A and B are shown apart, each in its own frame.
Chain A
């Protein structure tokens, strides 16, 4: 090794190693954006950013879990669409059956809406963990199937006439000026942080993704944890589907079509390693905020929405290239 490696690390590089460059990039983006466009700092705009970041955090949390156990979930966007259609249809059906109480309709409708999501998650988990099929193929297959079914059931037209309680209260309701989805995201963040840092379950997820064979040989039921990761991912996507449906006010088969790409971007930018075994929920949440700020900035700057996917694509390439660069340097030092 060169002489440089022997010199003790400076304080800044230690800090950088611990939290990465993402927080600095985020702060820099916010400052530049605020200087360029003061409207960014308006409370209504910031709440808007926070809302979008919350949707992204929840769905990317699921993506993170699946990537940690060494997989991918391409079907998350399709699960959002399927949940939207099934919950809307259930609510419309329940109210036409003559149930008076809106509360009962909404509760049952949401639960029934999550059933297909759960089914997709269970199928993904079974095919990946038991039949050992490549997660990429499995989830791209279930994605197509789910989107097809959602499109077939709705016939391409949105489903309206859901109870006001759902569309107004859950979709637009606020507590202490913040939309409910923000609290939901905070709850997911807290629960997953607790799981990853304080529980055996969290450690098992890392172990299975880090080295599946070794984990199995030490007596871990690897199948179970891989399966669980897919089910949790589908469930979180389903919850996002419910909130998004309430927000747009109709059941739509095209809802969430960008979320697959975005959730994978968020996970990757948040430092979740594609080889499995690495990833922290707090970094994923930070990365979700970063992506939400970036999209908001592009909208404020009146950049055509067609450019957004180009820029997101470039950001992914940059983030992954940086990660792989860091990795190769680390390997050299060992």
Chain B
């Protein structure tokens, strides 16, 4: 290969993802706006912002482990369990401790569950050296089972208004609260991925396990921490989504596994590990949310919507395979 093609290929690849995805998002919005002008209404755009922020957390949860060449299939089960458990704690504790403390306890339990699920995944993947796919498949089935068992399979109602207000409806400086939290988390995650040793180790780990070992870093601890981070991010998504629906739902996270992986991968995180930054879940979440809101507006059959997402997933993975081959 001559120098010239390498340079042009490189610069194309460098700006490619940064340009391609925003263009794709604009194209999707424009396409549905042509069919349904309501797509561009203020309410709908606010809705897109809010939904993308909620979805952003699960996409991030997925990104953190995909960087290390892993997966987290348990994000959906995590969301469901957090939704059910924190709702149960809130409804039980509020009569005893009052609204404020009840909500704090509920949120605290939710985050603790996230830490717990993440720690279990991390323990088995990093220290037990078990394939992350199998580990998270197993924890997915375990915690889905726990979520349906403790709730009896029914939604939990009577959540305090204040909870939905504080974590969903509140607006600060014209920005909905989920978007603000997403922004803070995005900044924090970006910082830890690019500016800290932990972040660098995760990328090296994804590139090659041996290199990370040779470099003398405590690989296992960092890998463990990545799964814990993923668990916590998913539990934040669970809390915010519960505030959105206003009830604890045992099947809140069912469709999230597929969509979160699709968002992270279409956003540019490579399944071969070692690449993908904070932009991947942002673009990915926006694209998937715009698509699904557009399809809803267009009243496309509910069974066909996953077909579109599935096709996009394969397309994104094919692009990824192509990129890797070039490299």
- A interface list, Cβ under 8 A from B: 72, 127, 131-134, 136-138, 140-145, 147-149, 151-152, 156, 261, 264, 268, 274, 304, 306-310, 312-314, 316-317, 320-321, 324, 328
Contact = CB atoms under 8 A, between A and B. Distances in A.
Interface in B113-157: 124, 128-131, 133-135, 137-142, 144-146, 148-149, 153
Given A127-B318, A320-B130, A148 B306 contact: yes
Contact of B310 (A136, A142, A309): A142
Chain B binding surface, main DSSP class: helix
Interface of B: 71, 124, 128-131, 133-135, 137-142, 144-146, 148-149, 153, 258, 261, 265, 271, 301, 303-307, 309-311, 313-314, 316-318, 320-321, 325
B124 A317 contact: yes
Contacts of A131: 318, 321
A148 B134 contact: no
| Closest CB pairs A-B (n = 9) | A144-B310, A310-B145, A151-B303, A148-B307, A313-B142, A137-B317, A313-B141, A141-B314, A152-B303
A138 B148 contact: no
Contacts, number: 122
Contact of A147 (B144, B265, B271, B306): B306
Contacts of A307: 145, 149
A188 to B, nearest CB: 24
Most buried by A among B139, B153, B303: B303
A314 B124 CA distance: 12
6 contacts: A143-B310, A144-B310, A148-B305, A151-B303, A307-B149, A321-B128
A175 to B, nearest CB: 35
Most buried by B among A127, A151, A261, A317: A317
A332 to B, nearest CB: 13
A261 B148 contact: no
B20 to A, nearest CB: 18
Nearest to B139: A313
B145 A136 contact: no
A268 B134 contact: yes
A309 B128 contact: no
Contacts of A132: 321, 325
Given A144-B258, A148-B306, A317 B138 contact: yes
Contacts of A156: 303
A309 B309 CA distance: 27
Contact of A140 (B129, B305, B313): B313
Given A141-B317, A316-B137, A310 B142 contact: yes
